């Protein structure tokens, strides 16, 4: 009680200057009685240091498990993205929609969105088709796209282009649309009633089954487009059919898998991805639990 009620304990309250001067003294001059209450905090500091010294030993296996789990999870996600079927969302940035929204070409007869036609081919097409339009009033547009995501085949897409570009019968009566899909190696020809009657079903079918797919398979896109144009113009003018290449002459063995093979492979990949997901999440947890239980 004497120490608590001494004048030294009351001096910081009654005399602030004295407390300030006292704090400036060196630790060696301080009274020894002030160091006695530090015994308990010193004991707590030892406990903290002991607990901190144990953390690295426990963190090493935990860090190893975390890295292993993340690596396996990343591998599983990568395989799932590579082998899962692609969902077509129909985004507006696809090239096929650009063709529809921009409308028919104004300065030429070609909408080469796939960028596979040369300047010479475009110039020859313009000369050939402009001469046809001036003589017969038939207008033919050629469209190339890389792939289709919104429609099942080139025929549906060609009909969609015709309806959007020429929405009325008067506008599309004497118009023709020729579509070439480079990734699928196929094409289609459509048009208004007057154009279909002038060309004839026979030439339309021959152009779609010979000129466009056969030459596109060999990646001869310029020849496929220009030979189709000459064949259609000759039919409208009533000239003899120049003909086209045959699949028997240029047929190559297909590298694409059948639908059955694709479904079989997809099932196998699903099992592999599922197994990797189990390994990525279950096995590290089991190993970590076994490690902790031993401790």
pLDDT tens, residue by residue, 170-182: 999 999 999 999 9
Beta-sheet strands, E only, within 77-137: 110-112
Tell me which residue has tokens 């031993």. Answer: 294
The rounded distance, in Å, linking the Cα atoms of 197 and 181 is 25
- Tokens in use for 110? 């070609």
Q: What order do you get walking across the sheet with 139-145 strand by strand?
A: 110-112, 139-145, 175-181, 186-191
CATH of the domain at 168: 3.10.310.50
CB atoms within 10 A of CB 163: 14
What are the residues whose beta carbons fall under 8 Å from the beta carbon of 291, sequence distance 6 or more?
61
Count of the separate structural domains present in the chain:
1
pLDDT in tens, 83-125: 544 433 333 344 678 888 888 998 889 999 999 999 999 999 9
The rounded distance, in Å, linking the Cα atoms of 248 and 146 is 26
Q: In the predicted model, is pLDDT for residue 28 greater than 50?
A: no
pLDDT band of residue 2 (cuts 50, 70, 90) is: very low
Tell me which residue has tokens 């426990």. Answer: 58
Dmax (CA) of the chain: 129
Phi and psi angles of residue 220, each rounded to the nearest 5 degrees, phi first = -95, 70
pLDDT in tens, 30-46: 444 433 343 344 334 33
In a domain? residue 265: no
Identify the DSSP state of 240.
P
In a domain? residue 14: no
Position 293 scores a pLDDT of 78
- 62-66, 101-105, 108-112, 126-130, range with the lowest pLDDT: 62-66
When comparing pLDDT for 160 and 63, which is higher? 160
Tell me which residue has tokens 């797919």. Answer: 213
The full length of the chain comes to 295
pLDDT in tens, 265-284: 667 777 777 778 778 878 78
In a domain? residue 122: yes
In a domain? residue 61: no
Position 88 scores a pLDDT of 39
DSSP 3-state of 148: coil
pTM for the full predicted model:
0.54
Host H or E run for residue 262: helix 259-294
Position 144 scores a pLDDT of 95
In a domain? residue 275: no
In a domain? residue 157: yes
DSSP 3-state of 139: strand
Q: In the predicted model, is pLDDT for residue 156 greater than 50?
A: yes
Domain containing 113 equals 106-237
Position 149 scores a pLDDT of 84
pLDDT in tens, 204-262: 999 999 999 999 999 999 999 999 999 999 999 999 999 988 765 444 444 554 556 66
Mean pLDDT of 135-148: 94
In a domain? residue 58: no
- Minimal CA–CA distance to 227: which of 117, 111, 106, 135? 117
- Minimal CA–CA distance to 83: which of 75, 94, 91? 75
Identify the DSSP state of 34.
G
In a domain? residue 276: no
CB 68 within 8 A of CB 284: yes
Burial of 134 (0-12, 13-18, 19+ CB in 10 A): exposed
């Amino acid at each position: 009680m004497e120490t608590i009620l001494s004048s030294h304990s009351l001096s910081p309250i009654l005399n602030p200057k004295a407390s300030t001067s006292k704090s400036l003294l060196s630790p060696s001059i301080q009274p020894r009685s002030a160091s006695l209450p530090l015994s308990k905090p010193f004991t707590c500091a030892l406990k903290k240091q002991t607990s901190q010294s144990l953390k690295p030993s426990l963190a090493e296996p935990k860090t190893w498990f975390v890295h292993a789990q993340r690596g396996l999870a990343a591998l599983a996600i990568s395989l799932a993205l590579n082998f899962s079927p692609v969902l077509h969302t129909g985004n507006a940035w696809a090239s096929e929609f650009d063709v529809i929204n921009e409308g028919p070409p104004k300065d030429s007869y070609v909408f080469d969105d796939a960028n596979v036609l040369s300047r010479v081919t475009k110039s020859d097409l313009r000369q050939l088709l402009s001469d046809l339009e001036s003589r017969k009033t038939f207008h033919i547009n050629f469209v190339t796209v890389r792939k289709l995501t919104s429609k099942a085949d080139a025929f549906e897409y060609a009909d969609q282009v015709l309806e959007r570009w020429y929405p009325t019968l008067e506008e599309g009566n004497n118009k023709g649309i020729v579509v070439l899909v480079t990734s699928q190696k196929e094409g289609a020809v459509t048009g208004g009633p007057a154009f279909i009657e002038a060309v004839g079903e026979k030439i339309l079918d021959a152009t779609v089954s010979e000129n466009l797919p056969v030459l596109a398979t060999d990646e001869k896109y310029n020849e496929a487009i220009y030979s189709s144009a000459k064949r259609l113009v000759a039919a409208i003018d009533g000239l003899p059919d120049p003909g086209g290449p045959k699949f028997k002459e240029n047929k190559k063995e297909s590298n694409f898998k059948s639908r059955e093979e694709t479904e079989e492979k997809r099932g196998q990949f699903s099992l592999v991805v599922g197994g990797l997901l189990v390994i990525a999440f279950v096995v590290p947890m089991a190993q970590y639990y076994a490690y902790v239980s031993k401790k």
